[in-house]
Structure formats: structure tokens, C-alpha cells
């Protein structure tokens, strides 16, 4: 049986799509959908960069610059955001797929297809965070979708708040989809599969925290 990857159906008819993907002998449309996700990621990141989202680290430095330097820094920031939007899908899709393939011995293309579905959720979250930031001036750390708001009542540590801001309802959705597919396709014990999924998500949250906490203004 050949399975054609359907990203939207994978989000809203998850059980049916995951079952078909698990049983499929061939996976079609994978690289077309991957290319589409790559394009959307770059475009959203470029838009976020152009709007100055998450540019707080260099905004003070930019405000003190002359017009030429200001425009150059703005272009540089936007280009960096676009580059991040290009690299992120490669990391997000292929690294977990490689880890799952290594430890769970499932077909690699199916795992890439799974990660394409979960990356679609990430892009939805990213788009909603952009809307929330632009229209309500609320940054990621204070997103109503995450534990960042709760963390702000418990600690003043910026790193801790940033870490919990990456634990969102969308990330839980992603972990649930990964677990359901891997558990249905793998004969190992549920605890082992759960730990694989959770630790992979935890590693992503930690790396995202470290990356977004870089003091960019110190580079200038």
C-alpha cells in the first residue's frame, strides 16, 4: 500500500493518517511536502525578522545608530532570521528522525514523514505567536499558549522563564503525535518509547532556550 503524505489530514485526522503511514509500503509526496514546509518556514522567519520580532537584544543598539547603519542592521537581522528559518526544518525534521531510526529501527522515510506532520504544528504555533506579538505586543515569554507566564510567577530567572516558554500546548500536541505513531509501529515497551519522545523534546527546548538567549548586542 502506498501512502501519500497529507499534512492537514495528519493534523486533524491524526489516528487515520498515522495508521495509514504505519502500514504503508511506500510513502509518496514526502519531498514535495518537505520543500513546501521549508519554503513556509523561510517566509515566516523573514516576515518575523522584517517586523522586528525577537529583536529586543539589538533594538537599543539600533536606535543609537545612524540611518545607514540602522538599515544595514535591520537587513542583517532579517537575513539571519531567514537563514534560521532555512536551517530549523532541517534540524527539526531530520535529527529526531535519525534518532528514532537508530534506536527504534523504523523506516527512515516514515519517520521523516512523521516529523513533517509535527513541524506543521510548529509552523502554526510560530504564526500564532507572530500574530500575538504584532497585534498585542506580547512576546513569546508571555504567550498564553505556554508555561512561560506561570514561570514568571515562580522565578525571576530569565533562562528559566525562556525555557518554560517553549513548553506549549502545541509542543505537547507534537509529543503526543510522535508517541502515538512510534508506539503503534514499534514493539518496544511503552516506557522506552515515551522516554525517547520526551528526551528528544526536552533537548529541543533546551537548545532553543540557549539559542534565543544569546546576547546578540555583544556581537556588535
Each domain of the chain, given as residue ranges in start order, spans 2-219
Buried b (16+ CB within 10 A) or exposed e, 149-165: bebbeeeeeeeebbbbb
Q: What is the pLDDT of residues 121-161, one digit of tens each?
A: 999 999 999 999 888 888 888 888 999 999 999 998 989 99
Asked if the model's pLDDT at residue 18 lies above 90, the reply is no
Distance separating alpha carbons of residues 115 and 5, to the nearest angstrom: 11
Distance separating alpha carbons of residues 151 and 158, to the nearest angstrom: 10
Distance separating alpha carbons of residues 164 and 186, to the nearest angstrom: 30
Distance separating alpha carbons of residues 100 and 203, to the nearest angstrom: 14
Note the pLDDT of residue 139: 84
CB 84 within 8 A of CB 45: yes
More confident residue, 183 or 13: 183
More confident residue, 62 or 185: 185
CB 80 within 8 A of CB 49: yes
Note the pLDDT of residue 58: 58
**Of the given ranges (34-43, 87-96, 185-194), which has the lowest mean pLDDT?**
185-194
Asked if the model's pLDDT at residue 79 lies above 80, the reply is yes
| Count of other CB atoms within 10 angstroms of residue 143 | 20
Asked if the model's pLDDT at residue 217 lies above 60, the reply is no
Write down the mean pLDDT value for the chain: 86
Helix H or strand E encompassing 88: helix 67-104
Distance separating alpha carbons of residues 76 and 1, to the nearest angstrom: 48
Burial class (CB in 10 A: 0-12, 13-18, 19+), 2: exposed
Burial class (CB in 10 A: 0-12, 13-18, 19+), 19: middle
Note the pLDDT of residue 61: 56
pLDDT band at 219 (very low <50, low <70, confident <90, very high): very low
Q: What is the pLDDT of residues 195-209, one digit of tens each?
A: 999 999 999 999 999
The residue-averaged pLDDT of 14-29 equals 82
Q: How far is CA 139 from the centre of its chain?
A: 16
Amino acid at each position: 500500500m502506498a501512502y501519500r503524505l497529507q499534512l492537514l489530514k495528519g493534523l486533524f485526522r491524526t489516528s487515520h493518517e498515522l495508521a495509514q503511514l504505519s502500514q504503508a509500503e511506500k510513502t509518496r509526496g514526502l519531498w514535495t511536502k518537505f520543500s513546501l514546509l521549508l519554503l513556509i518556514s523561510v517566509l515566516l522567519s523573514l516576515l518575523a525578522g522584517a517586523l522586528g520580532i525577537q529583536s529586543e537584544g539589538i533594538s537599543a543598539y539600533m536606535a543609537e545608530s545612524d540611518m545607514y547603519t540602522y538599515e544595514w542592521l535591520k537587513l542583517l537581522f532579517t537575513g539571519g532570521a531567514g537563514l534560521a528559518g532555512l536551517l530549523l526544518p532541517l534540524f527539526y525534521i531530520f535529527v529526531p528522525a535519525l534518532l528514532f531510526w537508530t534506536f527504534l529501527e523504523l523506516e527512515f522515510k516514515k519517520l521523516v514523514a512523521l516529523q513533517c506532520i509535527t513541524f506543521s504544528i510548529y509552523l502554526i504555533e510560530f504564526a500564532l505567536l507572530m500574530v500575538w506579538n504584532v497585534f498585542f505586543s506580547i512576546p513569546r515569554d508571555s504567550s498564553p499558549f505556554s508555561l512561560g507566564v506561570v514561570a514568571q510567577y515562580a522565578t525571576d530567572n530569565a533562562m528559566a522563564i525562556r525555557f518554560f516558554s517553549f513548553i506549549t500546548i502545541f509542543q505537547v500536541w507534537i509529543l503526543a503525535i510522535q508517541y502515538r505513531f512510534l508506539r503503534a509501529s514499534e514493539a518496544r515497551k511503552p516506557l522506552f518509547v515515551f522516554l525517547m519522545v520526551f528526551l528528544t523534546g526536552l533537548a529541543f527546548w533546551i537548545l532553543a532556550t540557549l539559542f534565543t538567549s544569546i546576547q546578540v548586542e555583544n556581537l556588535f
